[in-house]
Amino acid sequence: MKRKRMLALIAVVLLAGLLGLGLWRFSGGAKESPYVTAQVKKGNITQVVSATGTLQAVVTVLVGSQVSGTIARLNADFNSKVRKGQIIAELDQAKFGAQVDEERANLLAAQANMAKAKVTLEDTRRTLARADELRKRELISQSELDGAQTAHDAALAQLKVTEAQVGQARAALNQASVDLANTIIRSPVDGTVISRNVDVGQTVAASLQAPTLFTIANDLSKMQVHTSVDEADIGNVSEGQQVTFTVDAYPTKRFRGKVSQVRNAPTTVQNVVTYNSIVEIDNKELLLKPGMTANVEFLVSRKNDVLRVPNMAARFRPPWEKQDAQEVIRQASRTGGGGQGRRRGAASRARSGDGRDGRWAKLYVLKDLQLTAVEVRLGISDGTYTEVIEGDLKEEEQVVLALSESAKDNSPSGPVNPFQQQPLRGSR
């Protein structure tokens, strides 16, 4: 008997439990919010313009050869420290030395011809003087005097020709001497060799353009970052602006610099317009090397302890608001004549979807599981949070970011509109 009572009591308890569970599930259990929210808090916001660039030395000199020849000696290598005027390479001088000797001999021959022309000119001058005197005494004919004059004039012209030949020979000797001197390659600046493009025994040809033998960076302790800033962001970049950047070689270290120049020449690649901005940096530790890729951030504005909201909050729109915008477009498309302007206006409002009017935006706050729309004026943004300058939003309120997954799964159109919606004019 007792056993039957115990079994009956257990059955009643189980039935009561199942009944309570069923009622709890039927009533929806503890109400779960259909929205993903975030608490409005104060914090710091830093607005930056991001770009990429390449590290370069402030002064980079390409050292080449003005003459063709074979590399005889190299006195500098990669990373060598060189001084201005230091010999860093030499070409084989045998050919150029022989050319100098030949031009010097040509000069001596031209000078000898000039001396001979001077003697001839002096002889014709004396002959002309005697002929002139004899003609005055009428001892010779006029034709003989004219012959003496012609010989004198020819000797004078020949002297001028030999003087010109001497000048040409002297110029050729100077050119040969310059070519000989150019076989010795000297560093034009103080700096560090960052590239060597030749080896001993290699032939360099300078017929069309000077071949590059070395690349010398003037001072690697001072460097530049050449960045390409998009045309949409160039208005936020100015000279003197503070810059931070990172390189892949030191991903956890942030380097600092300052904008020294914003160049006006545009660069267009695949219809994308960018402007080159030069950032001066201090590289005393010599950690940075030419050619490194820098991920640059230009500091535009920084504000501390300001009210801020996630950027997702400004993009959130309830499903019924999107449906209303689509209905406005459909209603406007049915109108004729002047409806074109209304249709474009409705379409643009529907496409915007963020409620912005200038710097104003509509946010949604969750209060007692009910949505409340608030108008706020937004300030700067760091890509994750946006500053709230003014509006009806208060600290610690719950701002809506998106629909929860359960709300999306339960209803394709999302939760029911808690606001009283007025029917659209002209709807059928």
CB atoms within 10 A of CB 220: 19
Domain boundaries, the chain: 35-42+307-410, 48-58+218-305, 66-196
Kindly give the interhelix angle for 319-334 and 339-352, rounded to the nearest 10 degrees.
Answer: 160
Pair type for strands 272-282 and 370-381: unpaired
Pair type for strands 87-91 and 69-74: antiparallel
Mean pLDDT of the chain: 83
pLDDT digits (tens, 9 = 90+) for 56-107: 999 999 999 999 999 999 999 999 999 999 999 999 999 999 999 999 999 9
Does 1 have pLDDT greater than 60? no
Tell which residue, 161, 159, 166, has the closest CA to residue 109.
Answer: 166
When mean pLDDT is compared over 13-27, 171-185, 373-387, the highest value belongs to: 171-185
Does 343 have pLDDT greater than 60? no
Six-digit token pair at 394? 């208060």
Q: Percent of the chain, pLDDT > 70?
A: 78
CATH class of the domain at 66-196: mainly alpha
Does 302 have pLDDT greater than 60? yes
How far are the Cα atoms of 52, 307, 361 from residue 304, in angstroms, in the given order? 27, 9, 22
Tell which residue, 190, 193, 194, 196, has the closest CA to residue 218.
Answer: 190
Kindly report the CATH number that applies to the domain delimited by 48-58+218-305: 2.40.30.170
Given a contact cutoff of 8 angstroms between Cβ atoms, the answer to whether 389 and 30 are in contact is: no
pLDDT digits (tens, 9 = 90+) for 95-144: 999 999 999 999 999 999 999 999 999 999 999 999 898 888 888 889 99
pLDDT digits (tens, 9 = 90+) for 239-288: 999 999 999 999 999 999 999 999 999 999 999 999 999 999 999 999 99
